[in-house]
Amino acid sequence: MSAEEMIARLEPAMSPWKRVRGVAALVAGVAGTVFVSALWWSEPGSLPGRTQLAFGLFTAFCLAWACYGGWLLTRRAPLFATDRVIAGWLALAASAATTALVVAVAAQPVAGLVGGGTFVAVSAVLTVRAHARRAALLRRKRELTGEGER
């Protein structure tokens, strides 16, 4: 039996932890979108441009996490760590943009830079680890299927 046949015979169900991660991302993304949008639209009068930008970014990030959670829950096949790579890039983009926004509007930008820089560094490390894990899984798949041998 080849590796492809073995993979095809595996039960196409997600692990419980991956399902919990997907549900958490979906619920948090939808809740965040509803909360930020409600707060944004309930503000009286005209908001400054940077505030509008901040609300727009936060809404977009919440929508991205909701879409990621929905996508993760609909996958029924082995993902080979693609989900972790996508989550890493979402986290890195969100933390970098939030840090830049906080530094731009903060009264003490150094504190925002230190706090935000920590989040950016952690999300960058997690993204690199996700890419390495995905590469290892794909390398192992190629070894099992005999791809690249000739």
DSSP H helical segments within the chain, as ranges? 3-9, 16-42, 49-74, 82-105, 109-145
To the question of pTM greater than 0.75 for the whole model, the response is yes
* 79: its two tokens: 């993902």
52 HSE (CA, 13 A, CB side): 6
Residues in the chain where the model's pLDDT stays below 50: none
- Cα dist from 82 to 78, 89, 139, whole Å: 9, 11, 14
**pLDDT for the residue numbered 17:** 84
